[in-house]
Every structure is written in C-alpha cells, then in structure tokens.
C-alpha cells in the first residue's frame, strides 16, 4: 500500500506533496531525521491530507 500525502508548514505557509509506502517514517524524516532536503528549511510540518493507493505508480501519478 502506498500513500500520497500533503504536508503544511504553518510557520512558513508552505505545502509539500509526496508519496511513500511508510508515512510515519517519512513524516519523521521530514520533521526530524533528514539533514539535506527541501523540507528541512520549512520545519515543522503537519500532515493535512492523505490518500491511499494499491501501487507506487498510482500514488506517484496522484502527486
């Protein structure tokens, strides 16, 4: 199962759209673990939308 998700940074009024097979791990990566990525500049993030798909291809097309 894959999920397309939307993150929102209220502090910076930014959104980020991504997809993953492990939303919890990916969310922690965006907010804590990553050391280089677009999203580290706009922490903290909150999940504001999720949509589930059977395949990676479906999730990536939705993104």
Q: What percent of the chain has pLDDT over 70?
A: 100
Question: Has this prediction a pTM greater than 0.85?
Answer: yes
Q: For residue 63, what pLDDT is reported?
A: 80
- With 90 as the cut, is the pLDDT of residue 12 above it? yes
Mean of pLDDT values over 1-29:
97
Which structural domain, as residue segments, surrounds residue 19?
2-62
Closest CA to 33 of 24, 14, 5: 24
DSSP single-letter state for residue 22: -
Q: What is the mean pLDDT of the chain?
A: 96
**Structural domain count of the chain:** 1
Q: For residue 54, what pLDDT is reported?
A: 97
Residue 29: C-alpha distances to residues 15, 35, 38 (Å): 16, 9, 12
């Amino acid at each position: 199962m894959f999920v397309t998700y939307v993150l929102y940074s209220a502090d910076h009024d930014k959104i980020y759209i991504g997809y993953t097979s492990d939303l919890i791990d990916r969310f922690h990566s965006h907010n804590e673990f990553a050391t280089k990525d677009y999203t580290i500049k706009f922490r903290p993030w909150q999940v504001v939308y999720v949509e589930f798909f059977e395949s990676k291809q479906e999730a990536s097309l939705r993104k």
